[in-house]
Structure 1
């Protein structure tokens, strides 16, 4: 039996200088249950910045595109489908975490940046097991779908796992790549959305996204007069002043931290005990929740990431990185392939099936 292989085409890697450089992709074996995705769009995430100086690593993890090949035993996906995939690209399938549906906790999981460094979403193609691939609803453009594969999944996954109810008052700290999506999700759920930001500069935008209240912390440094919130979503790049924000929490409330930081998390212990607060960290969404996330955005057309398109070229990628490092983006960059075009790929797939 012949082995099915595919070349990954043009790829974009890190370098010792921290610049993204263009290179040639490797030949990749397509296992019987794998699919080949021709990448049309990829989001740029803050996590990507951690790997810029890895010269042998292909970058990017918010990839979407069109299936252009399938392995010999693929049963559920087909050529021509619009798909994306999550931060975790494979797992053992046999450990207790996997059997419980928590593939994101699998110790043998293939996660971006930790394994399988020859392929990622800043590339022409990627090879993924069909069970880790998700169909993009027709109501979501591929450009909008790209940031949902990490940012959207992270936010929605945290909200889902915390069992947020439509009756909850939900606070959101930070209006950035994650925060602007969190506001939209909980607003679409019917929650009262209370947004906390440093100044009033983003108030109008926050209200358009769905905020029912807005509090500029620098103008009200003790947050006086804020009605208690039942859930607090922390989407800032660094830990906030929890001594301050615990004052805004109701009893038996939940704090969901999405902050990626090596710093220790310090919370006021007596307030934690007296109010019986549950502090919950959140990783990327497991597959079942990732699929629910796409269905949610598919049925809520007003909830979409705010994106800026740039070409998936060395110039476009490095410009996006430079601006992201400066915080000069509202709110997600999406890199658009200059070789893979959705309409052309879909038409080619249809022609091949005749």
Structure 2
């Protein structure tokens, strides 16, 4: 058993504090990872603040994890000590249902085991990457390509796959017009990935303050959604819209931007329900869909794709003492574009 240093929160309105958590002894197929970096995802904030339902505190968030293998179980075949690896939003699933057998473990019919705020197969609560070590079943560990630095790799394990998966599933590519709603942690990854896939990319952001960044990352066009003329000008323009924001938006306004057979995909997860006028779907055979991360096979594919195309997130590395301030800055949209915790500061 390993005692890991961590940062935990004791309630929705509580600050983070130093903590020590137990990591289980290695089972036959387990991998012990010394965590080097952990990204801060908006999902961490929703969960820590109790906005997505009941949370069993104390909670150690974090599902954008990059580190080094320091020990392996007796029957581990995929990894060895010293390997550079990552862990994303889930650490296990049933492995037997139809979806798991398809490599879509994120949609496990029995429910996958979340990296934190879940319960593992041993009946213990899962705790995440704001810590120095984690034990994970080898099939849920990812190989980080050598040309991606560990601090830059961490956000790929959520922000990267959350945007890669819908772009891949709805076949973004040459001849397709893709819009990305929001230019934050998820949005800036979606822009780079869609551009690398060959799509014509447009950013739809509240203001133009990040326009230069968006164009440098691969966007062909950039519009402010605070300007009503944007929605008039772009009516019926896009084959695919990826909505990355975790706040309530006017879905009808965005649905009207779709072409015939176009799709609006939500990857942002606002706490409150969203409403739409069904006639904005019926009129042009449009679709409103959702997408949640990706399976392990697709996540590895994403990492390899990013390595090939030299795609990495824009990050700001912080110490463990800065987590509370980072949360405030994320909520204020004051980050370009992902905070990453240096776990050596735990």
TM-score, normalised on structure 2?
0.91
Contact 1:160 1:289 in 2 (8 A): no
Residue number among 310, 315, 331 corresponding to 1:325 in the alignment: 331
Establish whether residue 49 from structure 1 lines up as the match of residue 45 from structure 2.
yes
Call closer, same or farther: CA 1:12–1:118 in 2, change over 3 Å.
farther
Q: State the match for 1:281 in structure 2.
A: 290
| Aligned positions of 1:236-315 closer than 5 A | 236-301=245-310, 303-311=311-319, 313=320, 315=321
* Unmatched segments (≥5 aa) in structure 1: 1-5, 341-354
How far 1:179 sits from its partner (Å)? 0.7
Q: State the match for 1:137 in structure 2.
A: 145
How far 1:222 sits from its partner (Å)? 5.4
Contact 1:20 1:52 in 2 (8 A): no
Residue number among 216, 223, 238 corresponding to 1:215 in the alignment: 223
Distance 2:41 2:262 in 1: 29
Residue number among 76, 79, 83 corresponding to 1:77 in the alignment: 79
How far 1:321 sits from its partner (Å)? 2.1
Contact 1:307 1:330 in 2 (8 A): yes
Contact 1:246 1:268 in 2 (8 A): no
Aligned length: 332
Q: State the match for 1:126 in structure 2.
A: 134
Residue number among 4, 8, 13 corresponding to 1:13 in the alignment: 8
Distance 1:142 1:27 in 2: 22
| Cα-Cα RMSD | 1.8
Q: State the match for 1:347 in structure 2.
A: none
| Aligned positions of 1:52-71 closer than 5 A | 52=48, 54-71=56-73
Distance 1:298 1:127 in 2: 25
Computing the radius of gyration from Cα coordinates, the structure with the larger value is 1
Call closer, same or farther: CA 1:299–1:283 in 2, change over 3 Å.
same
Distance 2:302 2:251 in 1: 29
Distance 2:46 2:33 in 1: 25
Q: Which moved more, 1:287-296 or 1:244-253?
A: 244-253
Residue number among 108, 118, 124 corresponding to 1:114 in the alignment: 118
* Unmatched segments (≥5 aa) in structure 2: 50-55
Contact 2:117 2:127 in 1 (8 A): no
How far 1:224 sits from its partner (Å)? 2.7
Establish whether residue 40 from structure 1 lines up as the match of residue 36 from structure 2.
yes
Q: State the match for 1:186 in structure 2.
A: 194
Contact 1:19 1:52 in 2 (8 A): no
Contact 1:168 1:230 in 2 (8 A): yes
Q: Which moved more, 1:141-150 or 1:42-51?
A: 42-51
Q: State the match for 1:30 in structure 2.
A: 26
How far 1:232 sits from its partner (Å)? 0.7
Deviations 1:309-350 (A, max 9, x none): 012x3x22222223223322111100012269xxxxxxxxxx
Residue number among 91, 94, 98 corresponding to 1:92 in the alignment: 94
How far 1:56 sits from its partner (Å)? 2.4
Contact 2:184 2:333 in 1 (8 A): no
Q: Secondary structure at the match of 1:211?
A: coil
